[in-house]
Amino acid sequence: MKKRNIAKFLRMLRKEGGEISSFSSSSLISEHPVVSSSSSANMNSLCKKSIVKIQKRLKYKFNDRIWLEQALTRRSFVLESISTQVDEQANQRLEFIGDRVLELAVARILFVKNSGDNEGELNTKLKYCVNNTTLATIATRLRLGKYLIVGKGEEMCGIRENQKVLADTLEAIIGAIYFDSNEDMKRVCKFVARHFKTYLKQILASN
């Protein structure tokens, strides 16, 4: 390799090394996500009366109601508002994190309450608690469909009663609670224990 190429290669390594060192493990766990500040401005925000009602149903009071609004906002609404921040303002990202947090919360409850179960048995019970049918049933009981912020097209299609949409919305709500509570898993577990109580009792009774 020519000297000029070697020097160029070394400069590249130094540059990449600096970028990698700035991307530290501590920064990965210390950063707390911030909900888009433009969400509230672009949304047909929930009225105060609706905010109060849904929080009573959830039995959780949000510190920042924008988390709740985002959890209830469908991508269709954001697209129709011609926003440039669709993914930041719709509930799909919260649904993603809520799915994982829900599984962890239920897994923890099962691990503690079913000390005699092996991995396979715990997995079977976990799937029973977090499948779409279970989630949609709970979401229906909480009347989440009533509070969805949707686009006109989806509204005409009766999206508020769609079982998959309701299940996804509940996951987004759980994701919102996780971040709103400053990633407090105890708060999430409390929410899950309360609203998934029927299913958890059935599982525990089968032991």
Query: In this predicted structure, what is the pLDDT of residue 151?
Result: 82
**Confidence class of residue 19 from pLDDT cuts 50, 70 and 90?**
very low
Cα diameter, the chain: 74
Query: In this predicted structure, what is the pLDDT of residue 62?
Result: 96
Helices marked H in the chain — which ranges? 3-22, 25-30, 39-42, 48-58, 65-71, 75-80, 86-89, 92-113, 119-130, 132-141, 144-147, 152-156, 163-180, 185-195, 197-205
Query: In this predicted structure, what is the pLDDT of residue 188?
Result: 97
Query: In this predicted structure, what is the pLDDT of residue 78?
Result: 79
Query: In this predicted structure, what is the pLDDT of residue 42?
Result: 42
Tokens of 120: 């396979």
171 is catalytic: yes
Segment 167-187 mean pLDDT = 97
**Confidence class of residue 85 from pLDDT cuts 50, 70 and 90?**
low
Segment 4-22 mean pLDDT = 53
Q: Which residue is catalytic, options 99, 154, 168, 180?
A: 99
180 is catalytic: no
Residues 89-139: tens digit of each pLDDT: 789 999 999 999 999 999 999 999 988 899 999 999 999 999 999 999 999
**Confidence class of residue 193 from pLDDT cuts 50, 70 and 90?**
very high
Tokens of 21: 């060192």
Tokens of 49: 């009366």
Using DSSP's 3-state secondary structure scheme, residue 149 falls into strand
More confident residue, 9 or 102: 102
User: Which residue, 168, 43, 26, is CA-closest to 98?
Assistant: 168
Tell me how far apart the alpha carbons of residues 117 and 102 are, in angstroms, rounded to a whole number.
Answer: 20
Segment 166-191 mean pLDDT = 97
Burial class (CB in 10 A: 0-12, 13-18, 19+), 161: exposed
User: Which residue, 62, 88, 72, 103, is CA-closest to 169?
Assistant: 72
Query: In this predicted structure, what is the pLDDT of residue 48?
Result: 80
Share of the chain above pLDDT 90, in %: 56
State the amino acid at position 3 in one-letter form: K
Q: Which residue is catalytic, options 95, 154, 171, 180?
A: 171
Query: In this predicted structure, what is the pLDDT of residue 199?
Result: 93
Question: What would you report as the CA-atom Rg of the chain, rounded to the nearest whole angstrom?
Answer: 21
Name the CATH architecture for the domain at 46-206: Orthogonal Bundle (1.10)
Residues 25-54: tens digit of each pLDDT: 454 455 656 555 444 444 455 778 888 999
On the question of pLDDT at 84 being above 70, the answer is: no
